[in-house]
Amino acid sequence: MAITSFVSFLLSLLLILVQAKGRNVSTCPKSFSCGDFTDLSFPFSLSTQPDCGMMSMSGCDAKPYPRIQLVPGGEWYYALDMHNSSVWLRDPKLQTTLMQHNCQAFNKNFSLPNSHFMSFHMVNIHSFFKCISTSYNARNITHKKNNHFVGYNIYNGCEGFNIYYNLSKGADNLPTNCSLIRLPIHSSHGDLFDVLGPEFLAEWKLSDECNECHDGGGQCQTDKTNKFSCHKDAKTPTSTTDQRKETTGRNMVGLIVGTGSKICLIAAMYSYYRIFMHII
């Protein structure tokens, strides 16, 4: 009997240990600094703690600007200036192609996915029409496109396609062999490469339910089916990875309790066996 209680004591000790190890809850800082930006908070987070926010920042020690990723897995931009719910960004790749007057600049398309709890608006982004121009029928197509794009500027300095744009006109219906691309603009004068710029202002808005969730100490998340969920832990915000750790932790507890009870049973049987032998 003494052995059984000793074993169960050992078991509970193990249980506590495993639970403490399994629940490795990383607490998110209330605010943090990155580069020259101070007092940053949700929805920003450091890339080392991606679960603490929705927009990751990295290169905080890099000069002159740290980098920011607006959406997980998205492009990294330089963060030039920050306001309450907007940020001026620079795309270093676009900057290079624009400086070189490289037509690869038109392979880009600035669009940000809106999640269920966060929507973006890019202020100085404009629509451009990129239309295929094959040498065989270039003149005819250009002629046809010109009919469609009456009152548009045309840029034909790129091989294989023309760019049509009018800074006073937004998106229009698309003629065949044309695609819509959205690029940042910084000037209304000059040739297309002067009009385009590598910097843009991105504004964001969190949904009311996400704001409420965050104010209540929770974290806005989307589950696998892309549905909004507010993840709350008693005190500390938990992340999805932590949740996973927790479950593995529980599995481990189950495992140990399982093996433990077997050991316990064997020990008990052994002691009864010895007592029994003694009596005889």
Ligand X SMILES: *[C@@H]1O[C@H](CO)[C@@H](O)[C@H](O)[C@H]1NC(C)=O
Can you give the binding site for ligand X, defined by CB under 6 A? Answer: 21, 24, 26, 84, 109, 111, 132, 134, 137, 139-141, 151, 153, 166, 168-169, 176-177, 179-182
User: Token pair for residue 112?
Assistant: 């940000």
Cα dihedral across residues 75, 89, 115, 72: positive or negative: positive
56 φ, ψ (degrees, to nearest 5): -85, 145
Non-local (6+) Cβ contacts of 48 within 8 A are none
Q: What single letter denotes the amino acid at residue 179?
A: S
Min CB(206)–ligand X separation in Å: 12
Q: How many CA atoms lie within 13 A of 73 on its CB side?
A: 1
Q: Which residue is nearest to ligand X (CB)?
A: 111
DSSP state of 255: H
Which residue lies nearer to ligand X by CB, 143 or 274? 143
Strands of the chain (E only): list them: 32-34, 37-40, 44-46, 55-58, 67-69, 76-82, 86-90, 118-122, 125-132, 153-155, 161-165, 178-184, 199-206, 219-222, 228-231
Min CB(264)–ligand X separation in Å: 27
Min CB(7)–ligand X separation in Å: 26
Neighbouring CB atoms inside 10 A of 155's CB total 18
Rounded Cα distance, 65 and 78, in Å: 6
Min CB(145)–ligand X separation in Å: 8
Which residue lies nearer to ligand X by CB, 115 or 264? 115
Min CB(72)–ligand X separation in Å: 19
Min CB(188)–ligand X separation in Å: 10
Which residue lies nearer to ligand X by CB, 109 or 222? 109
Which residue lies nearer to ligand X by CB, 38 or 137? 137
Which residue lies nearer to ligand X by CB, 132 or 267? 132
Which residues share a beta bridge with 126? 183
Rounded Cα distance, 90 and 44, in Å: 17
Which residue lies nearer to ligand X by CB, 141 or 185? 141
Min CB(226)–ligand X separation in Å: 19
Is residue 143 within 8 Å of residue 115, measured between CB atoms? no
Which residue lies nearer to ligand X by CB, 15 or 180? 180
Which residue lies nearer to ligand X by CB, 134 or 146? 134
Buried b / exposed e over 79-91, threshold 16 CB at 10 Å, is beebeeebbbbbb
